[in-house]
């Protein structure tokens, strides 16, 4: 590509197909809407089946949308996701590994089953879905895998040992996949969101003292709106990011720089 060749079309996802796990709520919903508005067909994988709000947000977008219910902690259900997307849209160009869970408890009281549940969804599912999607992408010599990391990919946190472990692992998995898949023209990167105004952070935001402590650490001075992640996921899913590989991109209002 020469300097003269570049245009805003490099950010277009027209004709692409994206799988977004957990794409019906929270930040996942923002990723879904962003990719669809950029022109992609979206294959939205959700644990539940209440899809009306997201369908309404997608009304009028250029790309088509398909909703697929699956429990990604169940490996048999997980194995059907990529084939179902290929059956629906013919291929998969972008995979956004967003689905995740968190369980809070003091370390000395932490339950084995909570550890297992968090790791199964936050880490095992990411590995298995990425591997399955990569097989399709490598055959076509094109693709984007976007993992969702966290501030807890860099820090330790408290009361959430499996979540922290899984998000550290996501950073490593991103780099590992990137090293192997780059030669096949498949780029693997991660987004590490900071503090966003979602249902997951509602208890923290309702606690005036804790909320004030967090905001005082964020140079931008506020919890972000999910819309502030939309440009990032479009960029990482588009041709514009073809030379970005193995990177964990923090979208945190400056949290890590403080």
Q: Which residues are catalytic?
A: 163
Nearest to 99 by CA among 131, 128, 64, 123: 123
Asked if 187 and 133 touch (Cβ cutoff 8 Å), the reply is no
Half-sphere exposure of 236 (CA within 13 A, CB side): 30
Within 10 Å of residue 84's Cβ, how many Cβ atoms? Answer: 16
Within 10 Å of residue 27's Cβ, how many Cβ atoms? Answer: 23
| 127/132 Cα distance (integer angstroms) | 9
Total residue count of the chain as it appears in this document: 258
């Amino acid at each position: 590509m020469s300097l003269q060749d570049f245009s805003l079309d490099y950010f277009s996802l027209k004709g692409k197909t994206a799988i977004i796990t957990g794409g019906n709520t929270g930040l996942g919903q923002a990723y879904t809407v962003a990719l669809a508005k950029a022109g992609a067909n979206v294959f939205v994988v959700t644990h539940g089946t209440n899809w009306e709000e997201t369908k309404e947000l997608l009304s009028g977008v250029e790309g088509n949308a398909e909703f697929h219910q699956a429990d990604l902690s169940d490996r048999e259900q997980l194995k059907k996701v990529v084939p179902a997307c290929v059956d629906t849209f013919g291929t998969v160009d972008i995979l956004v590994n967003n689905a995740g869970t968190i369980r809070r408890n003091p370390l000395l009281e932490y339950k084995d089953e909570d550890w297992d549940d968090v790791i199964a969804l936050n880490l095992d599912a990411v590995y298995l879905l990425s591997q399955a999607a990569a097989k399709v992408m490598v055959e076509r010599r094109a693709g984007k895998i976007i993992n969702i990391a966290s501030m807890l990919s860099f820090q330790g946190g408290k009361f959430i040992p499996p979540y922290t472990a899984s998000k550290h692992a996501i950073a490593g998995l991103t780099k590992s996949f990137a090293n192997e898949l780059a030669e096949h023209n498949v780029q693997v990167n991660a987004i590490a969101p900071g503090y966003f105004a979602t249902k997951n952070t509602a208890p923290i935001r309702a606690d005036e003292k804790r909320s004030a402590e967090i905001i005082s650490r964020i140079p931008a001075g506020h919890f972000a709106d999910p819309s502030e992640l939309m440009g990032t996921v479009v960029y990482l899913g588009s041709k514009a990011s073809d030379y970005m590989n193995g990177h964990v991109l923090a979208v945190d209002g400056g949290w890590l720089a403080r």
